[in-house]
Structure 1
Amino acid sequence: MESNPTLYIVPTPIGNLDDITQRALTVLGQVDLICCEDTRHSGKLFSHFGISTKTVSVHDHNERQRAAWIISKLEAGENIALVSDAGTPLISDPGYHLVSQVRQAGFTVVPLPGPCAATTALCAAGLPSDRFSFEGFLPPKSNARQTKLAELLQEPRTMIFYEAPRRIKDTLADIIEVMGPERPVVIARELTKTFETIEGRPASELLEWVNEDDNRTRGEMVLMIAGFKASDDTLPLQTVKMLELLAKELPLKKAAAITAEIMGHKKNALYKFGLEQGW
């Protein structure tokens, strides 16, 4: 333990309880207080490992208010741990506001390494892992989801999302609509648990695979999409958007000429592209 009052960020297993680290158990057993996303959920884990440390709830709806109280505990010399329901806190989980305020108050924040569904899935996905983008959850409604996917259409890095089982079919359908049926996609579900499944196929084939068995829509899910691979004639998304907007107000030739001058592309290529789009 640190000699000064410290907030510890402690990852917990995402499924298999054997994945908890010895350091995590030591910290959780020695701190004065554990902040939990859900005290009842974490209580089962603590009971399994014989941890009797006092707990308090810190979640999305009370985090900002709890922060001042937690800082007062640090000022009183107490050591505190932060856990989420599973995995590493702050990764699509509460904790950002607390950590930010604790650091601003001048206290030490010590992160422990440990389980994280996003990186666990990426390691076995067979997609490029040298550069990747963690995007959290996609919007729950199709229109907003398609808008977000369109923004990421030319993202060159592997994209990692968390997704709810009840939305996985609709999300795959939106990926097909926006990014095309051939875009490689990987689903990792029930990681570290008994029915762990990691399946990767072109988006359209993966949707067919999911539809074959309802069990494939169950459990916690990580969704990974291969990054965009540009060809020599691929137009950047910003260029396409500019051409589209100008073409709504001007003749296509004029719109292509203005876009070419601003964005540095060939006018004829832009004009041809606009014709293909029916602008």
Structure 2
Amino acid sequence: MPNYDNDAEMKTLMQQFQDRTSQKFQEYEELMQEKRQKRKDQCDKEIQKIILKDKLEKELMDKFATLQTDIQNDAIPTCICKKSLTDKVEKNCMKCGGILGTAVPELGAIGGTVVYAAAVKSATDLGIKIGIQTAVSDLIGLSGLGKLIGSTTIENFVTSTNYFNKMDIFNFVQKAKITMCSGGNNANKVFCSYVNNSVNPPKLFQRAAIIAETAQATGADAAKAEFTSATASTAFLSNPIILSAIVIACIVAILLAIYLILRYRRNNKMKKKLQYIKLLKE
């Protein structure tokens, strides 16, 4: 299998993809920090309003101190202590939303890793396939070798581990020469006439080396083109993995929005409840 770790162009493509992914994560984090700060400021304003309201209510209660009221804690309406079906659903949704809210960044990271791994695997598989096809085609056309031993024999010999190996291909051709052309056998065949020529044996290894180099280069070019295509922005929307990630992200966003709305309602309800209890105790 070809090694792309030392391929400068492939490293550049991988680095560019990682840089774009990291930039997206950084932009997302900055956006979330801005939203958190806005939420904190809003909460601070609400707290100040409640404090001011409590202060005004206390002043009013002092002015009407002559009015004696004997309200006990058990006078609190029982509906406050009972949980309705809405409250139960709200509680479960809040738990779900909290989990999903913390999982959104991890979801993006997993999605980016899966897409990158899928692109690398797809490019590697295609490169090997094209390399094998090139080696088989060139061996079949090597001075009539395919007609002499049959294309099936060549196809069975070429694999993902030897299509780029010069010595393996040379040994295969040399074995075909010894087996099929020794002792004057098949002397009228093109391949045997070629290899039995005293001038051609040195060229046999050169042609085998050229076949291996061509197959490796063709496979590498196909792999690079496939990787570039798979990681291009236009290919993202047509990738089933990306579409699945988008659907999941939309579902998470909807659940997170529901969670935020329910949490806001719950906080308001609890504030009103605490204010009511406080007034009853005074």
Please indicate, yes or no, whether the TM-score normalized by the shorter chain is above 0.5: no
TM-score norm. by structure 2 comes to 0.17
If you compute each CA radius of gyration, which structure gives the higher value, 1 or 2? 2
* Greater relative contact order (CA < 8 Å, ≥ 6 in sequence): 2
Higher helix share: 2
